[in-house]
Amino acid sequence: SVFLKLSFPGLSFSIERTGSSGLVVQGRHRRAPQELIDELKSICD
């Protein structure tokens, strides 16, 4: 189930809970803010 979804101009991503164990961060963006995706992943870990 998706429990967080954010959208900005040129950037959208969602964080999904997968089973009992993990979280999945999925992002789509035009101007790759990879640092932002990595930061979200580190927060969720």
Range of the domain at 39: 2-44
Closest CA to 34 of 15, 17, 16, 11: 11
pLDDT of residue 23: 67
pLDDT for 22 equals 72
Q: Alpha-carbon distance 44 to 4, whole Å?
A: 11
| pTM attached to this predicted model | 0.33
- Check residue 27 and give its pLDDT: 66
Q: What percent of the chain has pLDDT over 90?
A: 0
**pLDDT, average across residues 14-26:** 71
Residue range 10-29: mean pLDDT, rounded: 71
CA 35 to chain centre: 11
Report the domain count for the chain: 1
